[in-house]
């Protein structure tokens, strides 16, 4: 199989960037966010801002070798955006070209966020612009949400819906909407565990879809699944969410 790099990003909305773009440094956080992400209605305080206005607070990755062996499953760090972005783009550059990217809604969100926020820090996202990673109907970048909706022909599934369909644990008590409150409370390790479990979910989805789609063999798919279990057992002492995920997976 082709080696793979599977990743997920956690962000909080960046009011400082909004103030800079609007050239209105005196704006309160609420006013700045209202201008870049206008209110939608009573059930949702703000609409979804453009990628530029998302500050990266965690990136988790899973690297898979040609034989299906899990080389690494881990968060890249916590908190400092520039350090996170530098680590991600350096790791991607080391593995590209040739590595297959696997994401969930990555074309619309994760990759544009990582690219645009890298540029704000003077970092180079050049690897994504090489090879055929930006060609939608090739498989150098497998955005599983895009693939499963037949590239927008049907309504896309959430990652949790896809996980449920495939018999994989999805969200376990923490969701993307909780990241801002966790970040504000300084619970960075909880964000790291949540992000890494999302990557585990995505990797397992790849392992189960891979033999059907021709991305990997059945044996490689099983190797990936066992590797994820091993990696989660090693991570379990770091945060109870890992043990909960393992328990749900084995159950």
Q: How confident is the model at residue 38 (pLDDT cuts 50, 70, 90)?
A: low
Q: Record the tokens describing residue 218, joined without a space.
A: 């059945």
What is the SS3 assignment for the chain? CCCEEEEEEEEEECHHHHHHHHCCCCCCHHHHHHHHCCCCECCECCCCCCHHHEEEEEEEEEEECCCCCEEEEEECCCCCHHHHHHHHHHHHHHHCCCCEEEECCHHHHHHHHHHHHHHHCCCCCHHHHCCCCCCCCCCCEEEHHHHHCCCCCCCCCCHHHHHHHCCCCCCCCCCHHHHHHHHHCCCHHHHHHHHHHHHHHHHHHHHHHHHHHCCCCHHHHHHHHHHHHHHHHHHHHHCHHHHHHHHHHHC
Q: What is the mean pLDDT of the chain?
A: 90
Q: Is 189 helix (H, G, I), strand (E, B) or coil?
A: helix
What is the SS3 assignment for 46-88? CCCCCHHHEEEEEEEEEEECCCCCEEEEEECCCCCHHHHHHHH
Q: What is the mean pLDDT of residues 46-64?
A: 89
Answer yes or no: are the C-beta atoms of 10 and 195 closer than 8 Å.
Answer: yes
CB atoms within 10 A of CB 170: 20
Question: What is the predicted pLDDT for the residue at 45?
Answer: 47
Q: How many structural domains does the chain have?
A: 1
Of the candidates 72, 74, 70, the one whose C-alpha atom is nearest the C-alpha of residue 189 is 74
| Least confident stretch, 28-32, 54-58, 170-174, 221-225 | 170-174
Write out pLDDT tens, residues 129-183.
988 888 888 889 999 999 999 888 889 999 999 999 999 988 877 766 778 888 8
In this structure, what is the dihedral angle of CA atoms 199, 121, 11, 81, given to the nearest 10 degrees? 70
Write out pLDDT tens, residues 180-227.
888 889 899 999 999 999 999 999 999 999 999 999 999 999 999 999
Question: What is the predicted pLDDT for the residue at 179?
Answer: 85
Question: What is the predicted pLDDT for the residue at 33?
Answer: 77
pTM (predicted TM-score): 0.91
State which residues form the domain around 189: 4-250
Which CATH number goes with the domain that contains 93? 3.30.420.10
Residue 104 exposure: Cα atoms within 13 Å on the Cβ side: 24
């Amino acid at each position: 199989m082709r080696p793979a790099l599977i990743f997920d990003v956690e962000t909080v909305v960046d009011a400082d960037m909004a103030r800079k773009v609007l050239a209105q440094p005196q704006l309160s956080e609420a006013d700045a966010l209202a201008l870049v992400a206008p209110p939608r209605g009573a059930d949702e305080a703000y609409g979804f801002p453009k990628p530029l206005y998302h500050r990266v607070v965690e990136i988790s990755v899973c690297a898979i070798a040609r034989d299906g062996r899990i080389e690494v499953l881990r968060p890249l760090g916590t908190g400092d955006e520039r350090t996170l972005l530098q680590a991600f783009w350096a790791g991607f550059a080391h593995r590209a070209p040739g590595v297959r990217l696997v994401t969930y809604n990555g074309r619309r969100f994760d990759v544009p966020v990582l690219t645009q926020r890298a540029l704000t820090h003077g970092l180079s996202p050049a690897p994504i612009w090489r090879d055929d990673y930006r060609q939608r109907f090739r498989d150098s970048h497998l955005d599983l949400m895009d693939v499963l909706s037949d590239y927008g022909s049907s309504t896309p599934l959430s990652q949790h819906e896809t996980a449920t369909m495939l018999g994989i644990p999805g969200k376990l008590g923490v969701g993307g909407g909780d990241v801002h409150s966790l970040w504000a409370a300084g619970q960075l390790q909880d964000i790291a565990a949540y992000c890494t479990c999302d990557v585990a979910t995505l990797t397992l989805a790849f392992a189960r879809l891979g033999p059907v789609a021709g991305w990997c063999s059945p044996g490689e798919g099983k190797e990936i699944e066992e590797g994820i279990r091993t990696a989660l057992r090693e991570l379990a002492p770091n945060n109870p969410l890992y043990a909960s995920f393992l328990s749900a997976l084995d159950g």
